[in-house]
Amino acid sequence: MTLIDALHINDSGGKILLDYLIKSIEETNIKVTYILDERIKGSHVIITNNNVIYIKSTFVNRLLFYLRNKNRFQKVFCFGNIPPPINLKARSYTYFHQKLFLFIPRELKFKTKLILFIKSKVIKQLSNNTDFWIVQSNLMKHDLLNKFNNNSDSKVLVHPFYPPLNHFSKVSTLRTPKSFLYVSNYQPHKNFENLINAFKLFYDEYKKGELHLTLVNNESKIIVKINNLISKGYPIINHGFINRDSLTTIYRQSEFIIYPSLVESFGLGIIEGIENGCKVMGADLPYTYAICKPSISFNPKLVKSIIKAFETALNTKSIIKTEQLVFNEIDSIKRLIGKNDI
């Protein structure tokens, strides 16, 4: 029996990947037990073929679970960056997908940086409890090995996986010329401030282009700023939260994906954009080149550089198509979970 430990996953991109993983497993005859955060009970995809245990997501509760069940499983798959809290006889894999545990941007608030620092120390302390790490790109493999140097190259496996969007939906393929889409929620390292400032100055000069966002409407400073610009006539369209069934439409109506984030583990929005025909305007950072050859690149820390990228998109008649470099390996993940290692 295999344990799928996703106790530390409850929202954002991790939850999207978890739902996809569960759906993929439930479509097979692979027998597993899931341990999940009680907060997502009723909100994850349906589990029909396997057992699920819900507990409150705390370090102590997770430790107690492992102490009570240390001899119950032949294989453990930790989905959520953190290896098992104890050393097990079972073969263990840890799916690591959070770059912020490896590199903490200076732009984050002190409290956030402190939490990430502590968690990264915990992960390093527990790193000997996992037999293998699984990451999404060769860049993540390189960074993980540098951070936790007690691991050998052969112990870090590269198997990116991500849920495909609905490519068979009947949506418009008419793209709005010079439309720029950034699919992301708000976090400081996502760099919305520089993006908004750059688009404002670009539009002041050229009076062309549309910027599309998917930020939840609330009373945050960035939303107030965006709404203020919209009220002044700037063509910024904030679609709010977009469910995955509707994302295909917005991608296929956009000419460019723009990705100014300062740190990314993978950049799911980039992959989704490419697979739906968008050209990528990507940050001139390693995470971009780990997954694609972008059509346009820029320095995300410099507003002038982002403006220049907008100008290139506007004035260049023939922009090279973005080349995708990584692809979905969910079948490899299923084989790894389902195979008999004993």
pLDDT digits (tens, 9 = 90+) for 105-145: 887 888 888 998 999 999 999 999 999 999 999 999 999 99
78 or 244: whose pLDDT is higher? 78
The pTM score is 0.87
Query: For 75-102, what is the mean pLDDT?
Result: 93
Looking at residue 20, its pLDDT comes to 93
Whether residue 170 is predicted with pLDDT greater than 60 in this model: the reply is no
Q: Cα angle at 215 between 166 and 175, to 5 degrees?
A: 50
Mean pLDDT over 168-178 rounds to 71
Q: What is the pLDDT of residues 310-342, one digit of tens each?
A: 999 999 888 999 999 999 999 999 999 987 654
Nearest 10 degrees: CA dihedral of 173, 271, 81, 51? Answer: 40
* Average pLDDT, rounded, for the chain: 91
Domains of the chain: 2-160+328-338 (3.40.50.2000), 176-324 (3.40.50.2000)
d(CA 242, CA 322): 24
Least confident of 53-67, 77-91, 95-109, 283-297: 95-109
**What does the pLDDT look like over 5-38, one tens digit per residue?**
999 998 777 888 999 999 999 999 999 999 999 9
pLDDT at res. 136: 92
HEC profile for the chain?
CEEEEECCCCCHHHHHHHHHHHHHHHCCCCCEEEEEEHHHCCCCCCCCCCEEEEECCCHHHHHHHHHHCCCCCCEEEEECCCCCCCCCCCEEEEECCCHHHCCCCCCCCHHHHHHHHHHHHHHHHHHHHCCEEEECCHHHHHHHHHHCCCCCHHHEEECCCCCCCCCCCCCCCCCEEEEEEECCCCCHHHCHHHHHHHHHHHHHHHCCCEEEECCCCCCCHHHHHHHHHHHCCCCEEECCCCCHHHHHHHHHCEEEEEECCCCCCCCHHHHHHHHCCCEEEEECCHHHHHHEECCEEECCCCHHHHHHHHHHHHHCCCCCCCEECCCCCHHHHHHHHHCCCC
Which residue carries 């999940």 as its tokens? 36
